[in-house]
Structure 1
Amino acid sequence: MRAYVSTLLAFASLFFLSCESQKLKNGQFPDQPVNLREINSPYDDINSDIPFINHQVPLVFSTNRSNPQTRDFNLTVRFLDFTWDKSEGVLRVNSSNTLFDKGFESFRDMVRRTESTSNEKGPYSFIDSPPDRLLLYSREVDGVYSIFAEPEVLDFSNRRIQSFRMTENSSHEMYPSFYGKEFVKGAETTSNGRPELMLFTSNKDGQFDLYETELPSSQSVLLFLFKNEPKTIRKLSLNSTSNDHMPFVFGDLLVFASDRPGGYGGYDLYYSKKTVSGWSEPVNLGPQINSVHDEYRPVVSSYPEFANQLMIFSSNRPGEMGGFDLYFVGIPKF
């Protein structure tokens, strides 16, 4: 009997060590939101973009810290490094512009060229024709947001064009995001097909709704979008009678913000999955992530060494750096 108990204890000990070793082997983003104090300010820091699938991330976001008098929003970039310490089982987050190397200097300069005296929000980077990376964003001109590109696009007549419209000129158009069967945001250089559809938001019918348009495979994405011809757009079936806004697609996962009834207060974050029959019914990301205040523009990325996915969003919940702050949290690989 004593030998049996000893064997059982030895097995339990090995099982525990095996589980502990496995736990430390795989990184884990926290299931509670963590303030990105490394980059936040006492002003409003919102609307981020994760350009690459890599633990070193040049995070692009919108902030009004640069012009405290006018409080207009400009895009800026800060380098984040998410590292999982396997020996300690600890996630370490570092931010330093000294992490920029020559490969990222041109990207940083591209972000800087978007700065103006208007508001710039909703950045989204992608590769249209490798190896050149482009940055889309929305700029407010005469009270209306339109989608702009950096660098400027040359059309078929070699004219330089900065922006495009999908609807009439009186409504906002914001937050472009691409998706397709083989397209994964941030991994364009290694895979991954080309985007097949563009999703964006507009308040053309009074409130913000999610729209999509098909992208032809026969030409450059941006040349199609900048072409001065009518485009067919359609609302997503998951829209509500409230504001559905600030979308981001990662693979088959759509995340967005909405002030629809049934949330926890203000704008909440929701997710939906792409299926053969369309987008699934949106699911609230729950009280661990949402608050009674506003949660804005979620973006998602995935890292092979982590067991869950990274999501970054902004919120004006009290008690942090001030105004809207950027947060990161782990969500399941749905």
Structure 2
Amino acid sequence: MQFDIAGQIEFEISGRAGVVTLVRERALNALNHGMIKAMSAALGEWQSDERVQVVVIKAAGRAFSAGGDLLEVHTRGMAGDPPYGFFADEYRLNAWLGVYPKPIVSLIDGIVMGGGVGISVHGRYRVMTENAVFAMPEVGIGFFPDVGGSHFLPRLEENFGLYLALTGDRVKSGDALKCGIATHSARSDDLDNILRLLSETGDPEKVLSDLCDPAKAAPASHDHKHIRHIFTGDTLTDVISNLRSRTESDPVAAICQEKMSSKCPVSMAVTFRQLAEGRGRSLAECMRMEYRILVRMLQGHDFYEGIRAVIIDKDATPQWDPDSLDKVTKDMVDAYFTSLENGDLEGVPDA
């Protein structure tokens, strides 16, 4: 199809379905600017194409999408050319998926993180298989859970979104279904049949109701009520104090405290405020807020240092600045949320 990018992303109209397939398998379907622009163009055409009654987003290989292309972000940032345009177009696409006039079904079979979450979680139907692994690990690389994380994470049940954002923990389909990340669960072997029936009928409600049996979904591996109990507090300091007070008697709290101890202090503080503010904002408002944060992080130190330590050198010893949460001031955090000098992100689709 005219929007295809060889070896990266493919589009087709199959019966009543417009099908997007990520095919950048060697890179775990990491998203780049070309893929984002191609998807936006295809969705724009399909919006008025009467043949397309449902949009399906899927991927080839063992990952749905591991996120954005962070190596490219690092290369350009270090060269003094941060990829503002990539993120601006990505955020516009994320917001559009949330208000797109036709139903969107994401078939998630494998790793889904970062940018991959952004192109899947805002659609009406999110189907996860036994192979699906969800995570928003951004605080571990000096970043923040963007692509609409400020909108969907605080709306997850039992405060599970805050837990995912601050620990970067990975969860499978049982937990994703329980907290609301996934709307349906299916066997990987059933996805071809689901796609066939969506193409034939254009009716995701009936197809998914018939083929996705909640009784067959994997059980949740986390105690979600307990997560809510230990991830409570009006401030990030309150949450951490609550965890610390329980570490000797509560193994879950101890594990969470250990995971959070290595995360970027500024990212943790920004993320806590981001989720608190996002709870009362529309998706479009969240994307504009996130773009403010994004610009400041692309102009800073920690994001590039996190990519270096985790992805490039893989030494797992990032040098955060500042290096502890008690050195992060309110003014530091406030600076990430103020209006941009050149104007906030424009052209964000809203309901």
Task: Give the TM-score taking structure 2 as reference length.
Answer: 0.28
Task: Give the TM-score taking structure 1 as reference length.
Answer: 0.29
| Structure with max Cα Rg | 1
Larger strand proportion of the pair: 1
Larger helix proportion of the pair: 2
